[in-house]
């Protein structure tokens, strides 16, 4: 069977590119998804108690990209939401990322915003070259804060010491010299008013889009032909592990429901030094749902399972370069998203990549101008 466009994967990147092709080019698109649902890891659903949960861990939309925000706003209304995270350290709950409030609570101080920079500078370790995530943290906050907030959390999350990880891991977490305790400082922040799944359903409501769930692209790869393929799965799988299997970190999700209205003080509480899980999410504090019970999620990082996080070490980055050379030779296959690019991307970056791919490659290939 022949299709003009085939998209492997119904996550945010796949759905975005499908919507653009179907709506802007009025072309038919086949979307193939191995899971039983659309939305990828942003998929949410109601559990047996009727509580809206994020099935693959908490997803909070935030961006400074007005174009991405306006694009997604076509498919959902938003609840204003400013994400806040607490970290359980030395028996206390302190705000993350590091801010004036974090320092004052940890050390029982009353430093002002003007004093915090000198405090951090006095503890930071000067380095000629910052090469790893450990270097990033030590050069910003010094040994004690690194050990209290970053070291063990990172070890749990990745299964290796931060000294083995690329700088990008800890660089994503800002260190602030003000009292802003929001986890993100982006201009646009929020949660889809009716959930991510509803938003995703609206994105592919176009009759030009044909969806095949519970179907691994590899299983039908030899049975279909296409003019263009947009591939959002793991690139090593696409090339049948020609250069070896890439490493990913996975997560084991444990959901618990309690007969109480509130479980914890914040939507997310990190546990860098205690327990085997990294964090606990309480979904009602994300979704604003009114319910007499509450559901929480504990996340246990693991090596085996569904691939969630590309492994940010020098070894695997170099291995992926071999696959990238193969990708660059393709003339009618586009690789899109976190798994295909072997990089961690926030939701807005995934959507932006898809929008740019459409405007820069796919639209011009069809002889149509934006």
Give the residue extent of every domain in the chain. 2-81+188-246+312-365, 98-171
pLDDT in the model for residue 369: 58
Give the residue-averaged pLDDT of 202-223.
Answer: 96
| Per-residue pLDDT reduced to its tens digit, 32-83 | 999 999 999 999 999 999 999 999 999 999 999 999 999 999 999 999 999 9
Count other Cβ atoms within 10 Å, centred on residue 48: 7
With pLDDT > 70 as the criterion, what percentage of the chain qualifies? 99
Q: Quick check: 359 pLDDT over 70? A: yes
Neighbour tally for 298: CB within 10 Å:
17
Give phi and psi for 279, each to the nearest 5: -160, 160
Position 102 confidence tier, pLDDT thresholds 50, 70, 90: very high
Q: Are 225 and 317 in contact (CB under 8 A)?
A: no
DSSP 97-128: SB-HHHHHHHHT----HHHHHHHHHHH----S
**Contact partners, residue 186, CB within 8 Å, separation at least 6:** 62, 63, 64
**23: exposed, middle or buried (Cβ count in 10 Å: 0-12, 13-18, 19+):** middle
**Sign of the four-CA dihedral 129, 134, 137, 143:** negative
pLDDT band at 313 (very low <50, low <70, confident <90, very high): confident
Q: Is 25 left (phi over 0), alpha (psi -120 to 50) or beta?
A: alpha
Averaged pLDDT of the chain: 94
Tell me the mean pLDDT in the region 322-351. 95
Of 4-18, 31-45, 112-126, the range with the lowest mean pLDDT is: 112-126
What pLDDT does 358 receive? 97
Could you tell me the CATH superfamily of domain 2-81+188-246+312-365?
Answer: NAD(P)-binding Rossmann-like Domain (3.40.50.720)
Q: Say yes or no to pLDDT of 370 above 90.
A: no
Q: How many CB atoms lie within 10 A of CB 49?
A: 14
- Please tell me the distance from the alpha carbon of residue 300 to that of residue 277, in angstroms, as a whole number: 4
Of the listed ranges 126-140, 168-182, 203-217, the least confidently predicted one is 168-182
pLDDT exceeds 70 at position 125: yes
pTM of the model: 0.93
80 vs 312, higher pLDDT: 80
What average pLDDT score do residues 229-242 get? 96
* pLDDT of 166: 86
Query: Cα–Cα distance between 234 and 147 in angstroms, integer?
Result: 34
Per residue in 134-178, pLDDT (tens digit) is 999 999 999 999 999 999 999 999 998 999 888 888 777 788 889
């Amino acid at each position: 069977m022949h299709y003009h466009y085939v998209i492997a994967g119904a996550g945010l990147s796949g759905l975005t590119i499908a919507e653009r092709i179907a709506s802007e080019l009025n072309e038919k698109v086949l979307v193939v998804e191995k899971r039983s649902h659309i939305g990828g890891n942003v998929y949410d659903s109601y559990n047996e108690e009727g509580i809206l949960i994020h099935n693959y861990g908490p997803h909070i939309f935030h961006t400074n990209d007005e174009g991405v925000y306006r694009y997604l706003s076509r498919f959902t209304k938003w609840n204003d939401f400013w994400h806040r995270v607490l970290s359980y350290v030395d028996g206390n709950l302190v705000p993350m990322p590091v801010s004036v409030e974090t320092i004052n609570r940890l050390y029982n101080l009353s430093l002002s915003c003007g004093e915090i920079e000198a405090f951090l500078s006095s503890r930071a370790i000067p380095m000629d070259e910052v090469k790893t995530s450990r270097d990033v943290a030590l050069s910003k906050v010094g040994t004690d804060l690194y050990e209290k907030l970053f070291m063990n959390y990172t070890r749990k999350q990745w299964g290796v010491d931060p000294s083995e990880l690329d700088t990008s891991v800890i660089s994503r977490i800002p260190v602030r010299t003000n009292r802003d305790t929001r986890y993100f400082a982006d201009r646009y922040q929020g949660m889809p008013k009716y959930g991510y799944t509803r938003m995703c359903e609206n994105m592919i409501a176009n009759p030009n889009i044909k969806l095949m769930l519970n179907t691994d692209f590899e299983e039908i790869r030899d049975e279909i032909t296409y003019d263009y393929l947009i591939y959002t799965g793991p690139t090593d799988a696409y090339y049948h592990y020609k250069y070896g299997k890439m490493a990913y970190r996975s997560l084991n999700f444990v959901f618990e429901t309690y007969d109480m209205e509130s479980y914890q003080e914040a939507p997310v509480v990190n546990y860098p030094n205690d327990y085997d899980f990294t964090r606990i999410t309480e979904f009602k504090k994300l979704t604003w749902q009114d319910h007499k019970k509450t559901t929480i999620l504990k996340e246990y990082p693991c090596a085996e399972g569904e691939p969630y996080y590309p492994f940010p070490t020098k070894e695997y980055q170099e291995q992926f370069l071999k696959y990238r050379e193969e990708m660059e030779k393709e003339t009618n296959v586009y690789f899109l998203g976190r798994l295909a690019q072997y990089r961690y991307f926030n939701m807005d970056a995934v959507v932006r990549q898809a929008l740019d791919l459409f405007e820069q490659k796919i639209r011009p290939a069809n002889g149509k101008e934006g």
